[in-house]
Structure 1
Amino acid sequence: MMARGWVLALASLAVSTTVAAQDLKSPSADQYVPRLGDIMSAAQTRHQKLWLAGKAQNWALAAFELNQLKASLVEAALLYSGIPVSNVTTLEPSLQATSDAIAAKDGRKFARSLGDLTEGCNACHRSMGRSFVVIKVPSDPQPFANQQFAPQAKP
């Protein structure tokens, strides 16, 4: 029952994307459907930006990136029936812990929960026969040179 509630909550995030959640389940022939690899690449980018924002203690940006990451996971699960919903719902505890750490502005809890979330991604990859796709907590300090990650000074 709890898992179903989580899926519904995640699905509500998908509604905010350019395609309504109901359209995601059965796209028409003329509707663009992103490839799973493109959705996962976006999720990987969000994961890295989430880490960079948390490391810079820009908690508002971290919260935004976490929501974007959740939306990517929902989109993947809704568009690709081969991804068991349970793979997405098993990420709920680490997604919630990351959200809680962001709300508390707690860098240590954030780092721990992001590590758990990262392992959850890898567990999903392993269960899908994609164990060669290994995500890690980022170590490169600034791969996105075109975006500022430190919070803006208040005017």
Structure 2
Amino acid sequence: MKKTILYLFALVTFFACQTNSQTEEKSTAVGHEGWLEGTSEEKFEEVAHQLGGFSRTMVEVSYRYSELYWSGMDENWGYAEHQVEHIIEAMEDGLKRRPERAESAESFMKESIPAIEALIKKEDKEEFLKGFRALTSGCNACHAKEGESYIMIAEPEIRTSPVRF
């Protein structure tokens, strides 16, 4: 996912440098087999569409959330820290694209995330599990603030990743 975003960012940067607002712009196709077509403005719009809104953010956060849970169950604290870093990164990127979600996410980002980070540093599985349940409550509170309380998050029951400690 990050490689795709970096690739799209590079394309956007390239197009920004190529745009000359004083002349008529020639439409050229770029990307693998020319999938990205149109004027620079049309290409920017398509890149923005490809990056998506907050739903794509939630796909990544969901994956990281599950990996965080299993890393705690395995007591793989380095991997747990890694997952929290990526949850933060995904949320920050998503909030750039959808700043109207920032108010709902504020408590999660400023309270829930630092709390789980502190518990990971303690390297205590039982304390982590309590904190993870609080993190889950933070997820659900954010969803409720967005009027999406029908999206209820629960502890993962099935491990889908091959990563093991």
User: Would you call these one fold, judging by a TM-score over 0.5?
Assistant: yes
Residues 61-113 of structure 1, C-alpha deviation per residue, up to 9 Å, x if partnerless? Answer: 01000111111111221111331x23222012221121111111111221111
Distance (Å, rounded) in 2 between the aligned partners of 1:80 and 1:122: 19
Give the partner amino acid of 1:86: E
RMSD over equivalenced CA pairs, Å: 2.2
Q: Percent identity?
A: 20
Higher relative contact order (CA 8 A, sep 6+): 1
TM-score (norm 1): 0.71
Distance (Å, rounded) in 2 between the aligned partners of 1:109 and 1:88: 24
Distance (Å, rounded) in 2 between the aligned partners of 1:43 and 1:137: 14
Give the partner amino acid of 1:130: E
Stretches of structure 1 lacking an aligned partner (at least 5 in a row): 1-16, 151-155
Range with bigger deviation, 55-64 or 123-132:
123-132
Distance (Å, rounded) in 2 between the aligned partners of 1:60 and 1:70: 16
What residue is the counterpart of 1:44 in the other structure? 62
What residue is the counterpart of 2:105 in the other structure? 88
Paired residues, number: 125
Distance (Å, rounded) in 2 between the aligned partners of 1:46 and 1:39: 11
What residue is the counterpart of 1:149 in the other structure? 164
Distance (Å, rounded) in 2 between the aligned partners of 1:134 and 1:68: 21
What residue is the counterpart of 1:10 in the other structure? none
Q: Is the 8 A contact 2:140 2:153 kept in 1?
A: yes
Distance (Å, rounded) in 1 between the aligned partners of 2:51 and 2:136: 26
One of 136, 148, 151 as aligned partner of 2:154? 136
How many Å apart are 1:139 and its aligned residue?
2.3
Asked which structure has the greater CA Rg, the reply is 2
Distance (Å, rounded) in 1 between the aligned partners of 2:105 and 2:89: 11
Q: Is the 8 A contact 1:94 1:114 kept in 2?
A: no
Distance (Å, rounded) in 2 between the aligned partners of 1:63 and 1:117: 14
1:64 aligns with 2:82: yes
How many Å apart are 1:30 and its aligned residue?
4.7
Stretches of structure 2 lacking an aligned partner (at least 5 in a row): 14-42
How many Å apart are 1:122 and its aligned residue?
0.7
One of 30, 37, 45 as aligned partner of 1:29? 45
Normalized per residue, the structure richer in helix is 2
